[in-house]
Structure formats: C-alpha cells, structure tokens
C-alpha cells in the first residue's frame, strides 16, 4: 500500500460536492507538451461510443455489451452489487438523446488486489447496452507510441466534473524513465504502464479512474492498452499518468468475463 500515501488515485468521491472527473488537453503535432494547463477538446458525439460513466465517480469502457471494464480501486469486493449505474451513449452528460443508463448486478474485482498493481475490475450490467465495445490488447505489441485518453473530468487538479467528454493524446513513457521520477519508484513493471509529457500539461485526473487508454491497432481499430489508475497530482511536470497494463491481465479478464 506504499504508493497510496503519495500517489493520487484517480477516482472521485460521491457526496455533496460535485464529482471530480478527468479532463484532458490535446497535444501538438510536434509531440511536444502544450501549455501546462489541464484542459481538453470535446469529443464528438459517438466518437468513442464504448465510453462509460459510472455513478461512483469513475470511468470505464464496454468490454462486452453487458460488461464494463474499469479499475479495481473504483469498486468494492467481488460479489452481487446493484448500486452502480452505468451511463453510456452520450458525450454530453446532460443530454437525454441517445443516453442509456443501466444498473449493475455484479462486480468482479481482480484477485489479489491490495492497492498496488492488479488495478482492474469488471461490472456486469442488468441488460446489454447496444453500443460498440472496445477490444483489449492481448500482447505488448501496442504498449508504445501515442495513446488517446478520454473522460468527463476535472479541468484542474481537484476540480469538478465536466459536462462534456474530453479527449487528448499522451505519449508512452518507459518504465525506467517513469520510475526515475519522484514518487514513482513503486511502479510495477509488467503490471503498469506510464504515459505523459515531461513538461506536464496533459493528463488524466480525479474521476477518470477506470477509463481506458487506447490507440489504433494494425487494422486502424481502437484497442485498449491501459486503465486509468494513479499519478502524482494531475498534469504536473515529471509526473506521468500510470495505467494498468491491460495485456498482462487480458487472459484473466477474459476468463472472469466468461464466468459472469
């Protein structure tokens, strides 16, 4: 549990205060970090149809039309759970056109999860959502290059929920470089992957936990390579975002999903 003392898990608390959900900023064509202000560009309606907003203040993606892949730290223990509402089909959370909301029936949290690594979970829904799903990487082939992140999140560290789905690109950061930054020595190679700019300015943030980090595969289709997990603050210099390395857990995720 060492990293929980210094690292900021990117979930949002649900209470009287507004939910905090991540927001992101686009990158320049030269692959250099933009001005260090956490912001973002709006995703078009239907651009990322697999994106899911969860009522506890996290994100997720449709693994199947009835199962959401999210972060372990967003959910409780494995078992029956009807308390979560998944919202999908909209980029604007206030829009009712095309919006689908479905309750959960069961949560499966990664076996052995204790706050360090293994940060993935599945949520089974009461009924299917008729939207495209996001396939996950099964090898490390796509664990490099530039990734896309998206969420309804905080425009500043500790900020409040955004109405619109925002998107940005972040570059891969090697394990060695990531672990060299202050607060990141506990990174677990093979279970976690880093992405972000040395100068900061672009990042996921509170409330984006559980959301996907994805890129194009060899067939130009979206493929998920990461799950938003933790980071030191949001968009700070020398403090990249840390994501669950999906390919490491692909077989376990598939096995668990088949049993739900």
Residues 185-217 as b or e (16 or more Cβ within 10 Å = b): ebbbeebbbbbbbeebbbbbbbbbbbbbbbbee
Rounded Cα distance between 201 and 206, Å, is 15
Q: Tell me: the pLDDT tens digits for 245-255?
A: 999 999 999 99
Asked if the model's pLDDT at residue 38 lies above 90, the reply is: no
Per-residue confidence (pLDDT) for residue 155, from 0 to 100: 66
Asked if the model's pLDDT at residue 31 lies above 60, the reply is: no
Per-residue confidence (pLDDT) for residue 41, from 0 to 100: 83
Q: Return the higher-pLDDT residue of 241 and 33.
A: 241
Q: Tell me: the pLDDT tens digits for 96-142?
A: 999 999 999 999 999 999 999 999 999 999 999 999 999 999 999 99
Q: Return the higher-pLDDT residue of 25 and 59.
A: 59
Count of the separate structural domains present in the chain: 1
pLDDT mean across residues, the chain: 86
Cβ pair 240, 202 in contact under 8 A = no
Asked if the model's pLDDT at residue 25 lies above 70, the reply is: no
Give residue 35's pLDDT band: very low, low, confident or very high (50, 70, 90).
Answer: very low
Across 198-210, average pLDDT: 91
- Nearest partner of 208 among 230, 225, 233, judged by Cα: 230
Threshold 0.75, pTM exceeds: yes
Rounded Cα distance between 162 and 174, Å, is 30
Give the range of the structural domain holding residue 233, as residue numbers without chain letter: 1-260
Cβ pair 232, 6 in contact under 8 A = yes
Per-residue confidence (pLDDT) for residue 153, from 0 to 100: 76
Indicate which residues carry an active-site annotation.
73, 119, 209
CATH number at residue 121: 2.40.10.10
- Nearest partner of 124 among 165, 167, 64, judged by Cα: 64
Q: Tell me: the pLDDT tens digits for 50-100?
A: 999 999 989 999 999 999 999 999 999 999 999 999 999 999 999 999 999
């Amino acid at each position: 549990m060492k990293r929980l003392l210094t690292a900021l898990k990117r979930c949002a608390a649900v209470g009287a205060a507004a939910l905090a959900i991540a927001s992101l900023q686009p990158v320049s064509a030269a692959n250099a970090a933009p001005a260090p202000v956490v912001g973002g560009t709006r995703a078009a309606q239907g651009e990322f149809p697999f994106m899911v907003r969860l009522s506890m203040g996290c994100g997720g993606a449709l693994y199947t039309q009835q199962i959401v892949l999210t972060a372990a730290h967003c959910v409780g223990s494995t078992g029956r759970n009807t308390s979560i509402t998944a919202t999908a089909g909209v980029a604007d959370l206030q829009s009712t056109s095309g919006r689908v909301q479905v309750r959960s029936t069961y949560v499966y949290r990664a076996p052995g999860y204790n706050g360090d690594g293994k940060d993935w979970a599945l949520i089974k829904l009461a009924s299917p959502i008729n939207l495209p799903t996001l396939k996950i990487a099964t090898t490390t082939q796509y664990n490099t290059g530039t990734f896309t992140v998206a969420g309804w999140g905080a425009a500043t560290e500790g900020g409040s929920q955004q109405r619109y789905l925002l998107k940005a690109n972040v570059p891969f950061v090697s394990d060695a470089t990531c672990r060299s930054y202050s607060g990141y020595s506990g990174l677990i190679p093979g279970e976690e992957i880093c992405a972000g700019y040395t100068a900061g300015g672009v990042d996921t943030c509170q409330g984006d936990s559980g959301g996907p980090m994805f890129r194009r595969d060899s067939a130009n289709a979206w493929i998920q390579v990461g799950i938003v997990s933790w980071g030191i603050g949001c968009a700070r210099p020398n403090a990249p975002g840390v994501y669950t390395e999906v390919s490491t857990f692909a077989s376990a995720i598939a096995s668990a999903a088949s049993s739900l």
